Amino acid sequence: MKRFKYILTLVLCASMALSLSAQSDSFKAGKNLNVQFSILKELQRSYVDTVQMDELVLDGINAMLSKLDPYTIYVPEEYEEDMELLMNGTYGGIGAVVQKKVDGPVVITEPYKDSPASKFGLVPGDQIIEIDNKSVIGETSAESTSRMKGVPGSNVLFKVVKMRSGDTVLVDVVRERIRVSSLDYAGIIRDSIGYITLSGFITGTAKEVRNAFLDLKKDGAKKIVLDLRDNGGGSLAEAVEIVSLFVPKGTLVISSKGKIEGSNKEYYTTSHPVDTLVPIMVMINSGSASASEIVAGAIQDLDRGFVAGKRSFGKGLVQSVVPMPFDGTLKYTTAKYYTPSGRCVQAIDYSHRNEDGSVGNIPDSLTSEFTTKKGRIVKDGGGITPDIEIDNIVYGRVSFSVVFNNIVSDYAMDYYKKHPTIAPAEEFVLTDEGYDDFVKFAASREFDARSVSQVEMDDLLKKAKEEGMYEIFKAEFDALSDKLNLSKEEALKMAKDELLPIIEAEILSKYYFREASIFPELRYDKQLEEALDSWKSNFPL
């Protein structure tokens, strides 16, 4: 009896402690919210300068959410259209990529195919100087593009300086519901191999993949490459639907586990497949995340195909989207997801990653082994590790610099102005003379042409001078520095192999829309070529 009373006392104490802990947490939260409100009220009343209270509160919300994970965000009402574009790939507008400086016009850089911009005659290089009789000079890019967007079916009046003629004309454009497709290209490449590349997973992506796959089979495709490199993900439901195209109905694709019961789900294929036998290769890299990892992980775990490339990003978190007061939206993490074998794709620590945000090195001691449907060993710890690892294309510092400074885009625009027509998209190549012209164009612009070696040499010289070593070894330092110190022209010529496909893709997008940029990308894609070479010998399916 004494022991029973002792145990009962322990249970009661534990229950009271839990209750007090819960009350304590609620009390602390209420206290801090009260303090926060009092601070805001006092600042609004007495602070020496004008306080933008809405911005201050929004900054506070963002700071609070940043303590959780990188994917939990609050979207105010004024950015709801951006959320719609993110989730569904749609918005109301004219359908064009534009550039804008505060002191300049809105420049059309790339109309979308079959968009209102294209239908009403807007071409790359056209300059919009007024929107609905109001000048754009002095506006930010966001302010001007906001006025260009609107309800589908409504009109927007542009005053435009035409690129080729220089004439100033009025163009009355009828806005439409613009849908940005996530299927970038589908076609036959070599050896009867069908190739499908996706840039995201939005509403309708699975249907696009299904139709593309059936068309490729009609065209004679015997194998399929699903390219998910640099695909940041999107809709989980669309990812499950894509897997369902290639595995039997009722197959487990992914499961999620969270704090509340509603977050614990298993996602099975619910429709009949279109083909369960065609060999599949999924390509991934460090930019492949979320829904991309669901597809790649399922195909790998189910031994439905194999994965090639580099380890994926490592985002195995499920986000839910819920409405907030005053038409805001909260997108927050509610669960982690697991592949059919039981692997969690989420990186063990998403606060310590590579420079590109992807998974860093994970020690084997921190990983667990799982088995695929046929008994192959796969590991967790962050991301999907390919069956065949193939190094990424590595771009040098100079290539990043000229792209970041819009020099490639500006050269493509200049090329478009000077050449009314070019060869068909599949045949177009930039000649050696054309690349020399690019070198002259780029060298006249401001950009950092230093290589990584030059940057490190500059740092070494600085430290050597600080430590008094420079004067001692001045001749050696200067000789090495001179050899590494390339001119802009020399640096650009050394980067030709990296820049050529980028330049060709930009030029083609001016003449034949963004879809045409795939041809130089495929032509120079050494990683894809190596993956295709490895397919038959390493993974005969």
| CA 351 – CA 70 distance, rounded (Å) | 9
Last residue of a domain, one of 160, 179, 198: 179
- Please tell me whether residues 61 and 96 are part of one structural domain: no
- Provide CB contacts within 8 A for 198, sequence distance 6+: 182, 183, 184, 205, 209, 226, 227, 228, 231, 292
**Residue 280: which CATH number?**
3.90.226.10
Last residue of a domain, one of 122, 145, 179: 179
Which of 489, 486, 520 is CA-nearest to residue 503? 520
- Please tell me whether residues 175 and 237 are part of one structural domain: no
Q: Which residues pair with 333 in a beta bridge?
A: 319
Within-domain flag for 12: no
| pLDDT beyond 70 at 11 | no
Q: Give me the active site residues, please.
A: 290, 301, 315
Query: What letter represents residue 309's amino acid?
Result: G
Last residue of a domain, one of 350, 375, 392: 392
Within-domain flag for 19: no
| CA 390 – CA 286 distance, rounded (Å) | 12
Within-domain flag for 11: no
- Please tell me whether residues 280 and 388 are part of one structural domain: yes
| pLDDT beyond 50 at 470 | yes
Query: If pLDDT is split at 50, 70 and 90, which confidence band does 158 have?
Result: very high
Cβ atoms within 10 Å, residue 498 = 18
| pLDDT beyond 60 at 460 | yes
Within-domain flag for 77: no
- Please tell me whether residues 191 and 273 are part of one structural domain: yes
What's residue 323's pLDDT? 83
Could you tell me whether strands 280-284 and 223-227 are parallel, antiparallel, or unpaired per DSSP bridges?
Answer: parallel
Within-domain flag for 14: no
HEC letters along 277-342: CCCEEEEECCCCCCHHHHHHHHHHHCCCCEEEECCCCCCCEEEEEEEEHHHEEEEEEEEEEECCCC
pLDDT in tens, 222-236: 999 999 999 999 888
CB distance 367 to 379 below 8 Å: yes
Mean pLDDT, residues 427-453:
93
- Please tell me whether residues 374 and 455 are part of one structural domain: no
**Residue 172: which CATH number?**
2.30.42.10
Q: In total, how many domains does the chain have?
A: 4
Within-domain flag for 367: yes
- Please tell me whether residues 252 and 281 are part of one structural domain: yes
Report the share of the chain in percent with pLDDT over 90: 56
Provide the domain limits for residue 167: 90-179
What's residue 312's pLDDT? 92
pLDDT in tens, 312-349: 998 888 877 888 887 788 888 888 889 999 998 887 65
Residue 430 three-state SS: coil
- Please tell me whether residues 234 and 330 are part of one structural domain: yes
Could you tell me whether strands 265-268 and 155-161 are parallel, antiparallel, or unpaired per DSSP bridges?
Answer: unpaired
- Please tell me whether residues 294 and 258 are part of one structural domain: yes
Within-domain flag for 13: no
pLDDT in tens, 142-154: 899 989 998 899 9
Q: Residue 218: enclosing H or E segment and its boundaries? A: helix 205-218
pLDDT in tens, 74-105: 888 766 666 555 556 667 899 999 999 889 99
- Please tell me whether residues 55 and 112 are part of one structural domain: no
- Please tell me whether residues 226 and 365 are part of one structural domain: yes
Mean pLDDT, residues 12-17:
46
Instruction: Report the greatest alpha carbon distance in the chain.
Output: 101
Query: If pLDDT is split at 50, 70 and 90, which confidence band does 457 have?
Result: confident
- Please tell me whether residues 511 and 462 are part of one structural domain: yes
- Please tell me whether residues 207 and 314 are part of one structural domain: yes
Within-domain flag for 243: yes
